[in-house]
């Protein structure tokens, strides 16, 4: 009965949170139908009329797609298998013993246990991460040296340890105080924690990895355009991505006073004016900013958390009854129970991943629409601009024109490049009988 109630709550909340994204206009429907027909008529991994690659690049894109897909699903499976192995081999029980022997204070035990678990998982996942960086260097997506990459990996480990230790301490304390309802209490406490992390991330965490400066210091002409699209000048920043990366990009981050749009310096050439393609790219991010997509996406994730933790709670009880003796984890008050919860989350993530990616694609699709409408009047031909930018972006990133519906559904948090290009070419809300979604005619 309780599970059914949470399912009903989530089913009701998610449409409300995404209400600003779900309304489909006549022009949008026509462009979506056009893109769907184009993709349906094309072979999987083949070129599309509105987005195609040269034969050699198409072969590279196909090879890179295969690598990414195999690596992703292998890593997904390994994240489950490694936790089972750590439990079965008694490693988790050993970690628990080391944490308990480190001191009587719970916070000491929490951070020792979190450190040991994090070290084990980092080492076990390191081959995937090393190979991923190797591929980025091989295909020219990254120019970051291995020493710098290792330093960033170390920073990420340290930040994760600080956070996971605190969360482990909080969760362990809740389990001890409310053994049957800790999942609900942790869901409630996770709201301010998540929103707080969202607020401090661009101020404290991001500058540990990249340098940031006001965009107005380098590209005042772009600042003016972004203000026209709805982003105040003081919320616009330039990230020095070129020290590590080669691909152009921009993103929105933060909450409240820390909310901002960040443009990578790889997207801009100081000796040239702002191209129509860059205008559409930043217009897309302005859509995220104005439509509060970061907050909406965060709230949608938080809305599902009680259900996820409730399922993890039930899984934990069943595993302790069935395997507690073998794993030497007698109860949920044992530190080792936290690893069983990690296993539960890894299993739930298999189902949750395509659902969250579907919601993300809807949000990104609406940001595309906002960006295309925002550049109307700023560029000669918005439809051509979007298509050309998708062509250029796809060529730089070796994006598969038509990855297949199942792979797009499961793995893509943006619509596939070919779909975005076809939609952009066909989307014309300024035509007679049509209506823009976000800007008045």
Tens digits of residue pLDDT in 321-373: 999 999 999 999 999 999 999 999 999 999 999 999 999 999 999 999 999 99
The widest CA-to-CA distance across the chain, in whole angstroms, is: 75
Assess contact for 411 and 357: CB atoms under 8 A.
yes
Most confident of 21-35, 41-55, 262-276: 41-55
For 187, the token pair is: 């869901």
Per-residue confidence (pLDDT) for residue 22, from 0 to 100 = 56
- What's the mean pLDDT in 118-129? 98
Taking the C-alpha atoms of residue 26 and residue 31, their distance in angstroms, rounded to an integer, is 9
Most confident of the following: 19-23, 207-211, 432-436: 207-211
pLDDT band for position 8 (cuts 50, 70, 90): very low
| DSSP β-bridge partners for residue 264 | 239
Element (H, E) at 296: helix 293-327
Cα–Cα distance, 412 to 37 (Å, whole number): 20
Domains of the chain (ranges, CATH numbers): 212-289 (3.30.2010.10)
Q: What is the pLDDT of residue 7?
A: 46
Alpha-carbon span 284 to 290, nearest angstrom: 10
| pLDDT per position as a tens digit, 284-328 | 999 999 999 999 999 999 999 999 999 999 999 999 999 999 999
Cα radius of gyration (the chain): 24
pLDDT digit string, tens, across residues 173-190: 999 999 999 999 999 999
pTM higher than 0.85, yes or no?
A: yes
Give the model's pLDDT for residue 274.
86
Residues 22, 23, 29: CA angle, nearest 5 degrees: 105
pLDDT, one tens digit per residue, over 198-250 is 999 999 999 999 999 999 999 999 999 999 899 999 999 999 999 999 999 99
User: What is the percent of the chain with per-residue pLDDT over 90, rounded to a whole number?
Assistant: 91
- Model confidence at 272, pLDDT cuts 50, 70, 90, reads confident
Least trusted range by pLDDT, from 147-161, 183-197, 271-285, 334-348? 271-285
pLDDT greater than 90 at residue 4 = no
**Torsion, CA 415, CA 416, CA 417, CA 423, rounded to 10:** -50
At 34-90, the pLDDT tens digits run 999 999 999 999 999 999 999 999 999 999 999 999 999 999 999 999 999 999 999
Give the pLDDT confidence score for residue 273 in this predicted structure: 74
Q: Is the pLDDT of residue 382 over 90?
A: yes
Helix axes 55-88, 91-101, angle to 10 degrees: 60
């Amino acid at each position: 009965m309780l599970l059914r109630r949470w399912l009903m709550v989530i089913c009701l909340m998610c449409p409300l949170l995404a209400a600003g994204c779900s309304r489909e206009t006549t022009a949008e429907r026509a462009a979506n139908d056009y893109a769907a027909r184009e993709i349906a008529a094309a072979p999987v991994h083949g070129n599309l009329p509105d987005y195609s690659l040269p034969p050699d690049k198409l072969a590279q894109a196909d090879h890179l797609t295969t690598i990414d897909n195999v690596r992703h699903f292998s890593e997904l499976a390994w994240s489950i298998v490694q936790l089972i192995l750590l439990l079965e081999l008694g490693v988790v029980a050993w970690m628990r013993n080391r944490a308990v022997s480190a001191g009587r204070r719970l916070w000491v035990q929490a951070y020792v246990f979190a450190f040991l678990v994090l070290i084990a998982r980092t080492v076990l996942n390191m081959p995937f991460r090393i190979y991923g960086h190797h591929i980025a260097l091989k295909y020219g997506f990254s120019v970051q040296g291995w020493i710098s990459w290792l330093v960033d990996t170390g920073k990420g480990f340290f930040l994760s340890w600080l956070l996971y230790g605190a969360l482990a301490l909080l969760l362990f304390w809740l389990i001890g105080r409310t053994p049957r309802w800790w999942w609900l209490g942790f869901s409630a406490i996770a709201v301010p924690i998540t929103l707080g992390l969202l607020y401090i991330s661009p101020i404290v965490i991001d500058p540990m990895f990249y340098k940031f400066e006001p965009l107005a210091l380098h590209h005042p002409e772009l600042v003016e355009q972004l203000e026209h699209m709805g982003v105040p000048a003081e919320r616009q920043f330039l990230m020095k991505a070129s020290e590590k990366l080669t691909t152009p990009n921009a993103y929105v981050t933060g909450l409240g006073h820390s909310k901002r749009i960040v443009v990578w310096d790889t997207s801009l050439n100081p000796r040239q004016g702002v191209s129509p393609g860059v205008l559409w790219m930043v217009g897309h991010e302005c859509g995220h900013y104005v439509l509060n997509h970061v907050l909406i996406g965060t709230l949608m994730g938080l809305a599902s958390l009680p259900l996820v933790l409730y399922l993890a709670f039930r899984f934990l009880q069943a595993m302790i009854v069935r395997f507690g003796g073998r794993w030497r984890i007698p109860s949920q008050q044992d530190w080792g129970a936290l690893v069983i919860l990690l296993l539960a989350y890894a299993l739930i993530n298999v189902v949750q991943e395509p659902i969250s990616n579907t919601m993300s694609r809807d949000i990104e699709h609406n940001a595309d629409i906002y960006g295309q409408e925002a550049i109307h009047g700023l560029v000669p031909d918005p439809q051509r601009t979007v298509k050309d930018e998708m062509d250029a972006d796809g060529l730089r990133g070796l994006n598969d024109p038509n990855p297949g519906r199942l792979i797009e559904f499961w793995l893509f948090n943006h619509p596939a490049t070919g779909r975005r290009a076809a939609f952009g070419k066909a989307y014309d809300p300024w035509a007679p009988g049509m209506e823009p979604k976000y800007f008045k005619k």
